[in-house]
Structure 1
Amino acid sequence: MKTFTKSQLALRNGQDREEIWVAYQGVIYDVTDSRLWRNGKHYEHWAGQDLTDELPDAPHTEKVFERLQQVGVLGD
Structure 2
Amino acid sequence: MSDLPVYTRSQLALRNGQDKPQIWVACRGLIYDVTESRLWRNGKHYEHWAGQDLTDELADAPHTDGVFEKFVVIGRLA
User: TM-score under structure 1 normalisation?
Assistant: 0.97
How many residues of Structure 1 are paired with residues of Structure 2 in the alignment?
A: 75
Residue 16 of structure 1: CA displacement? 0.5
Residue 27 of structure 1: CA displacement? 0.2
How do 1:1-76 and structure 2 match up within 5 A? Answer: 1-75=4-78
User: TM-score under structure 2 normalisation?
Assistant: 0.95
Q: How far apart, CA to CA, are the structure 1 residues paired with 2:60 and 2:54? A: 10
Unaligned runs of 5+ in 1: none
How much identity, in percent, do the aligned residues show?
Answer: 71
Unaligned runs of 5+ in 2: none
Give me the CA root mean square deviation: 0.4
